[in-house]
Amino acid sequence: MARLFGTDGIRGVANVYPMTSEMALRVGRAIAYISRKKGHTPRILIGKDTRLSGYMLENALVSGICSMGADALIVGPMTTPGVAFLTVSMRADAGIVISASHNPYQDNGIKIFSSDGFKLPDAKENNFEKLITSDDLPSLHVDPSDMGKAYRIDDARGRYIVFLKNSFPAEYTLEGMKIVLDCANGATYKVAPEVFFELGAEVIPLFHEPDGKNINKDCGSQHPETLANEVVKNRADVGFAFDGDGDRVIAVDEKGNVLTGDQMIAICTSVMKKKGTLKKNLVVNTVMSNIGMGLAFKELGVKTITTKVGDRYVLAEMLAKDASIGGEDSGHIIFSDHHTTGDGIIAALQLLSAMKYEGKPLSNLAKIMKVFPQRLINIDVTSKPDINTIPEIVKVIQEVEKKLGDKGRVLVRYSGTQNMCRVMVEGPTEKDTEIYCRKIADVITRKIG
């Protein structure tokens, strides 16, 4: 049997293995079973994004949890970082998120947080997966008199909003600022506009009317084009685009320029260094980070540690080295002084805090980092063999790396959540990156596409 957990939980097409109601039932049973303690009724918190399949999976999870003698705390539509916060705030034994993040509505997923608000480490995830697939699991349910209950937590959104607002410096306000928010028809559709409005901003919300099928559809952090146009059209100070589950954000400056996650990290790092809040003078990034970030940090005198792709790996290194900021170019940014996981709304608020501190528009602050041309091509693949075992692919990668020399780089990796191979090339010009990236992608398509 193929491994259930990828880099960000279990994920797949809804109603198709492994994202079936039967699997969700087993996940619910397993998380409740491992949370059992003598004399204690476990409480498992469940949140979801706005996908149509969320109802099916939510009810199956609740059924599994209650069958094992645990109580289910249902918070409804909630961001992934919101579930992490509420799990800790409500002293729950675990938190479950039903979401496939930035994927289209047909997909869904299940992510799990432990009682401390952190995602499960690989070792615990492996043991948890063994229990989920165990033939013994169905026989472990409790007697009828010991079954659990389900409770709907009506004030969950309000609790989370207060938490988010407290991450913004008390000495600042957003009064006089006009902010456009692209909520991706996802989990931030109610929370984000309320947070920025309560902090004093004039808010123009976009894509905030989910119907179960329009999440991430031509909107959100992967499609910021409409946001950029609306920022310019409305003469706004800044715009933010979140992804479906709210753990990522991409910013747009007042001129309509889209900033990368790397640029946001560089801006916030610069201000944190000036304020003396940059722990260990250190930032954690990933192999996907732009070359320009490294050059900017060298200029700032800031140290960096690079991890493989995945927020769990960034966070693990941050905790190990006591770093206060880390993240990915995709806009998944972690501020460890504020949260246990990446939170798009917190990241947006920290960027606004930096703007307030510097007293400058975002377009000016973005100049701190030169973004090298980068091309990314995603290729659907039928299998995921080790790239180094395919001579034709190894050869074309080496050819491109030789031509780029020290003026660029190549990164080829499989997606941890989809049957996809990602080819990324950075180079001195847009033309070069396009040509070289396409050259590698064509070979991969022929061999395993």
What residues are annotated to the active site? 101
Closest residue by Cα to residue 146 from 30, 39, 23: 39
Contacts of 38 (CB under 8 A, 6+ apart): none
Burial of 402 (0-12, 13-18, 19+ CB in 10 A): exposed
The DSSP secondary-structure symbol of 212 reads S
Going by C-alpha positions, the residue among 310, 345, 75 that lies closest to residue 183 is 345
Residue 381: both structure tokens together: 């693949």
One-letter identity of residue 129: E
> Bridge-partner residues for 284, per DSSP?
305, 326
Report d(CA 180, CA 400) in Å as an integer: 40
- The answer to whether the CB of 328 falls within 8 A of the CB of 341 is no
Strand partners, 285: 306
Nearest alpha carbon to residue 221 among 107, 374, 101: 101
Q: Which structure tokens are listed for 449?
A: 């596409």
Cα 351 to Cα 116, 220, 251, 360, 366: the distances in Å are 26, 18, 9, 12, 11
Those residues with Cβ within 8 angstroms of residue 10's Cβ, 6 or more apart along the chain or in another chain = 4, 18, 19, 23, 27, 109, 110
